[in-house]
Amino acid sequence: MALLEIDNLTVSFYTSEGVVTAVDDLSYTIDAGEKFGVVGESGAGKSVTALSLLRLIESPGEIESGSIRFCDPDTVEELEESYPEHVVDVGELRRESDFANVIERLEDRGVSGLDVTGNPEHETADLPRLRADGELGIRDVIDQGYASELGLIGEEDFIVHDGDTSYVELLRAPEPAVRRLRGNNIAMIFQDAQTALNPVYTVGEQIAEAIRHHLDYGDEEAKQRGIELLDTVGIPDAENRYTDYPHEFSGGMQQRAVIAMALSCDPDVIIADEPTTALDVTTEAKILELLEELTDEFDTAVQLITHDLGVVAELCDRVMVMYAGQPVEKSPVEELYYDPKHPYTVGLMSSIPRIGDDRDRLQTIPGTMPDLIETPSGCSFHPRCPYAEEICKQKEPRLVEFDDVESGTRSAKCLEYTGDLEDGIGYTVTVEDDHTPTEYVSSEHHE
Amino acid sequence: MSLQKYILRRVLTSIPVLFGVSVVTFGIMHAAPGDVVSQMVAANPNVPPGESVRLREEFGLNDPIWVQYLDWMQGIFTGDFGEVYSSSRSADTIVMARLPETLLLGAFGWVFAILIAVPGGIYAAVNKDELGDDVSRFAALSGISIPNFWLGLMLMAIFAVQLDLFPTLDPQTGLLSREMLWWLILPGVTIGTAASANMMRIMRTSMAEELNKEYVTAARAKGLPERTVILKHVLRNSLISVTTVAAFLTASLVSGSVVVEVVFAWPGLGRELVEAIQLREINLLMAITLLTGAVVVLANLLADIVYALLDPRIRDEY
Ligand code: SF4
C-alpha cells in the first residue's frame, strides 16, 4: 500500500454564483519517500487538493466524497491505541459478512463499478463480474465509503486493519485525530512564506510550538531543535536569528523558515504548494535544491504543487497534470517529457520558459481555465484544445492506462486513447539533450 | 528611535494640543452670555446692586480677555488653578477631591467594556454569520444606539428602584468600601456599554479579517488545537486594531461620564463640570477640561505603547 492514497476525491464550494466543483473525482497515490508533482494552471484545483489532505477545507468548501487513506504503520498503531473503538478488522468482516448480499445492495443503490473500485475502466462493468474477476473486494467497499452507508462498519470507524496492512481513513477520522497528523505526519509548505508566518510571533516560536505540541518537548529542548532546524535550512547565525520576527527575514529566508517549520516534526509527507512562486529565480533554484536535499535526507515524501513543469522536472519522480479539477495525465516524469500524451500537457510544456525566451508563459495555451460552475460538456479542455473535434464536446474521455511503460503506470484522459478521434492528435516534441536535438513524433495519425 | 524617546516626543507634542484646548474653552466660556457674578446675583437676589460691580472688579472680569487668559496661564505655571468664586475654594482642591471617584467610574467602565467586548467579539467572529453572531451584532448595535442617560435611567428604574438590588443614593462611605463599589456597578455598566458595543464590533471585524489570513491556515496545518490558533495566533493580531479604537473611545468614555454622573448623582468630576458651566466658574471648568485633555492624551500614548508591545513591526519603527 502506498503511503497516501487518494480515491475519487470530490470537493465543492457553495458560492453565491453556484456550486464550484474544484476537485472532481480525483485519485492518486504517493509512495513513502516519493516526490510527486501536481501540475496545472491556477484554478485547476491543486491547492484545494492540498488542503483536502489536511482536511482544512473551509466553508463554503466541502469535501463531498472520496477517500484519503494514510498508511504509516507507526502512526496507525498510535492512533489505534487512542481510538480502540474505531478500528475495523477487514479479515473479520470478510469472514462474517455476506459479500454477495453486499454487492446486491450496492447494485440496488445504482453504484457503478467505477464508483466502487475507482478504476475508470470499470465504469460499465457489472459488480458480480468484477467480484468474480477478483477486481472487487470488501476493502474496496470500505475504501470508497460504502461500508458505513451499508452498516458494515460504524460511521466513525476510521482505522482499518487488513492482515498486515493498516491505514487511517482521514475523511472519517475525528477532528482531534486529524489534528495529530497535521504538522506531525503531513506537513505543509505554503505558497507565500510572508503571509504564512504570523507577523507578531518570532520565527523561532512558530517553529517550536509545533515541536512542543506534537513531540512533547520542553521549552528548552524545543528551542534547541528549532535552532538546529534553522541551521539545517541554511539560516546563518541561527541561534540569534531564532528570536527574529518574520519581517526581519528576507523573502528567501522566510521560505527557508517555513520549510524548517514543515520539517520540524519529521513528517512522512510534505505538501509544498507552489513553494517558490513568491521568490526570484536564483532564490527559487536554491530553495528547490534545499527542499530536494532535505526530503531525501529525511526520506520524506513530497507532493509538489506547481504550475511550472520545469520545477517538476527538477524535483519529482512522478507527476499528475490537472485541468479543471480533474487529472488529465499521470506519468513518471521522464516519460512525460519525452512523450506527453495529453494535449494540455503539451501546451504546458511549450510554456516552460527558457533562458532568452521572454514570452508570456500562459499565453501559449490560448484561452483560460473554464469557470468551474459550468464546466464545458464532454472533455472540459475542448474549448482550448487545438485537436478538439465534434465528439470532444459530447463525450467525456476517461483516464486510459498505458501498460507499455517501463517505470510505473501512465494514463491520460483524451478521447484519442479510446479511439474516438477521427484525425487524432499530432504534435512534435523536440528534446534537446546536450545540445543534440532529437525529434520525437507522437501519434501523428490515428489509424 | 527608542520607545523612551518616542514617549518623550509624544508628551511634548501634547503640550500644544492642551494649549489649544485651553484657548478654545476659555474663548467659548467668555462668548457665552453671563458670567460668574451674574449667576451669583441671580441665585441670591439680596445682593446689593453695587456689589456685582465690585465683585467683577475683584475677580478681574473687567480686564480684556487676553489679559484674563494670561493671568490664568501664569497661575497654571505656578501650580495655581485659580479660585472657585462662589465657594471661595481653589479649583485644584475640588478637582483633586473629585478625581478619584471619576477615575474609579471610568476604570470600571473600561474593564466592563473590555470584559464584554473581547470575548464577545471573539465569539462573534468565530461563529460568523451564525445565530450567536447575529445576537451579538444586535446587542452591539443596541449598545451603540441607546443613549447613555436613557440606559442609566432604565437600569436605575429596574435594578435599583423596582428590584431594589442596588442603592440609589450615595452610601457616603469611603471610596473603596463595599457599599461604594456596589453602588458603582450601575453607573459603571451604563458608561461601559457604548464603549463595549463599539469595541465588540471592531473586535469582530478585525478578528474575522484575521481569520481569513494564511497564517491561520498555516497554524492549523501545524496541528495546533483550535483554541491555540484563535487565542494565540489570531487574538493578538486582532487586538492591534482594537487598541487604536480603544484609545479613541476613551474620549467618549470621558464625555459619557458627565451624563452618567448626573443621572446617578455620582460625586465625580463630570457633575462638577456641569455645575461649573452653570455657575460660569471658569477656573474650575478650565481645570477639569485640561485634566480631561491630559487623560485623553495619556490614553493615546498608552495605546501606542500597547500597540508596540503587540506588534513587533511597529516596535521597529520607533
Ligand atoms: S478529448 Fe478532444 S478536446 Fe479533449 S484533449 Fe483530447 S482531443 Fe482535446
Give the model confidence (pLDDT) of A387-440 as tens digits. 888 898 988 898 888 876 565 688 999 888 888 888 777 776 665 554 444 444
pLDDT at A363 over 50: no
Residue partners of B212: CB distance under 8 A and separation at least 6: none
Residue partners of A81: CB distance under 8 A and separation at least 6: none
Predicted local confidence at residue B290, as pLDDT: 86
The tens place of each residue's pLDDT in chain B, 318 residues long, gives: 567 787 788 788 888 888 888 888 888 888 777 777 777 777 777 777 777 777 777 777 777 888 888 888 888 888 787 777 777 788 888 888 888 888 888 889 989 999 999 999 999 999 888 888 888 888 888 888 888 888 888 888 888 888 878 877 777 777 777 877 888 888 889 989 888 998 999 999 999 999 999 999 999 999 999 999 999 999 999 998 888 888 888 877 887 888 888 888 888 888 888 888 888 888 888 888 888 888 888 888 888 888 888 888 877 766
Amino acid (1-letter code) at residue B196: S
Q: Quickly state the pLDDT bin for A359 (edges 50, 70, 90).
A: very low
Predicted local confidence at residue B50, as pLDDT: 77
Q: Quickly state the pLDDT bin for A346 (edges 50, 70, 90).
A: confident
Gap from CA of A167 to ligand 1 centroid (Å): 37
Predicted local confidence at residue A352, as pLDDT: 57
**Every domain of chain B and the residues it spans:** 92-317
Predicted local confidence at residue A104, as pLDDT: 84
Q: Is the CB of A399 under 6 A from ligand 1?
A: no
Predicted local confidence at residue A283, as pLDDT: 82
Task: Give the CA angle between residues A243, A246, A252 to the nearest 5°.
Answer: 115
Q: Which pTM was predicted?
A: 0.83
Which residue's CA is the closest to the ligand 1 atom numbered 4? A379
Three cell numbers, residue A263: 520539517
The phi, psi pair for A433, rounded to 5°, reads -110, 125
Taking the CA of residue A425 as reference, the ligand 1 atom at the shortest distance is 7
Please tell me the total number of residues recorded for chain A in this structure: 447
Question: DSSP characters for A360-408?
Answer: -GGGGS-S-PPPTTSPPSSSTTTTT-TT--HHHHHPPP-PEEE---SSS
Q: Which residue has the cell 504570523?
A: A198
Contact A180 B223 (CB under 8 A): yes
**ipTM here:** 0.85
Task: Give the nearest chain A residue to B210 (CA atoms).
Answer: A198
The phi, psi pair for A133, rounded to 5°, reads -75, 0
Residue partners of A249: CB distance under 8 A and separation at least 6: A203, A241, A257
Which CA distances in Å does A357 have to A338, A353, A366, A433, B149? 21, 6, 18, 18, 73
pLDDT at A45 over 60: yes
SS (H, E, C) chain B: CCHHHHHHHHHHHHHHHHHHHHHHHHHHHHHCCCCHHHHHHHHCCCCCHHHHHHHHHHHCCCCCHHHHHHHHHHHHHCCCCCEECCCCEEHHHHHHHHHHHHHHHHHHHHHHHHHHHHHHHHHHHHCCCCHHHHHHHHHHHHHHHCCHHHHHHHHHHHHHHHCCCCCCCCCCCCCCCHHHHHHHHHHHHHHHHHHHHHHHHHHHHHHHHHHCCHHHHHHHHCCCCHHHHHHHHHHHHHHHHHHHHHHHHHHHHHHHHHHHHHHHCCCCHHHHHHHHHHCCCHHHHHHHHHHHHHHHHHHHHHHHHHHHHHCHHHHHHC
pLDDT at A445 over 50: no
Eight-state DSSP code of residue A423: S
Contact B313 A210 (CB under 8 A): no
Would you call B233 an interface residue with chain A, using a CB distance cutoff of 8 Å? yes
Q: Is the CB of A329 under 6 A from ligand 1?
A: no
Euclidean distance between CA atoms B313 and A246, whole angstroms: 9
Give the mutation candidate from B127, B215, B243 for the A interface (greatest A CB count, under 10 A): B215
Contact B223 A209 (CB under 8 A): no
Burial A227-259 (b: 16+ CB within 10 A, else e): bebbbbbbbeebeebbebbbeebeebbbbbbbb
Q: Is A314 within 8 Å of A308 (Cβ atoms)? A: no
Of A180, A196, A213, the CB nearest to B218: A196
Contact A198 B311 (CB under 8 A): no
Predicted local confidence at residue A199, as pLDDT: 93
Residue partners of A308: CB distance under 8 A and separation at least 6: A39, A352
> Which chain A residues contact residue B217 at CB under 8 A?
51, 56, 190, 196
**In 3-state terms, what secondary structure has residue A415?**
helix
Q: What topology does CATH give the domain B92-317? A: MetI-like fold (1.10.3720)
Euclidean distance between CA atoms B54 and B59, whole angstroms: 9
Contact A245 B223 (CB under 8 A): no
Peptide bond just before A60 cis, omega within 30 deg: yes
Euclidean distance between CA atoms A68 and A5, whole angstroms: 6
Would you call A440 an interface residue with chain B, using a CB distance cutoff of 8 Å? no
> Which chain A residues contact residue B307 at CB under 8 A?
none
Predicted local confidence at residue A361, as pLDDT: 41
Q: Is B206 within 8 Å of B238 (Cβ atoms)? A: yes
Predicted local confidence at residue A407, as pLDDT: 55
**Every domain of chain A and the residues it spans:** 73-181, 335-442
Contact A182 B222 (CB under 8 A): yes
Q: Quickly state the pLDDT bin for A17 (edges 50, 70, 90).
A: confident
Q: Is the CB of A379 under 6 A from ligand 1?
A: yes
Three cell numbers, residue A81: 491505541
Predicted local confidence at residue B235, as pLDDT: 93
Would you call A183 an interface residue with chain B, using a CB distance cutoff of 8 Å? yes
The phi, psi pair for A319, rounded to 5°, reads -145, 150
Question: DSSP characters for A174-216?
Answer: -HHHHHHHBTTTEEEE-S-HHHHS-TTS-HHHHHHHHHHHHH-
Q: Are strands A428-433 and A436-441 parallel, antiparallel or unpaired?
A: antiparallel
Mean pLDDT along residues A278-290: 83
Task: Measure B7 CA to nearest chain A CA, in Å.
Answer: 22
Predicted local confidence at residue A157, as pLDDT: 86
Predicted local confidence at residue A277, as pLDDT: 78
pLDDT tens digits for range B234-259 = 999 999 888 888 888 887 788 788 88
pLDDT tens digits for range A237-263 = 999 999 999 999 998 899 999 999 999
Would you call A309 an interface residue with chain B, using a CB distance cutoff of 8 Å? no
pLDDT at A165 over 60: yes
pLDDT tens digits for range B150-177 = 888 888 888 888 887 887 777 777 777 7
Predicted local confidence at residue A432, as pLDDT: 55
Predicted local confidence at residue A351, as pLDDT: 62
Predicted local confidence at residue A319, as pLDDT: 93
> Which chain A residues contact residue B218 at CB under 8 A?
188, 190, 196-198, 258, 261
pLDDT at A444 over 50: no
Contact A198 B220 (CB under 8 A): no
Three cell numbers, residue A416: 484519442
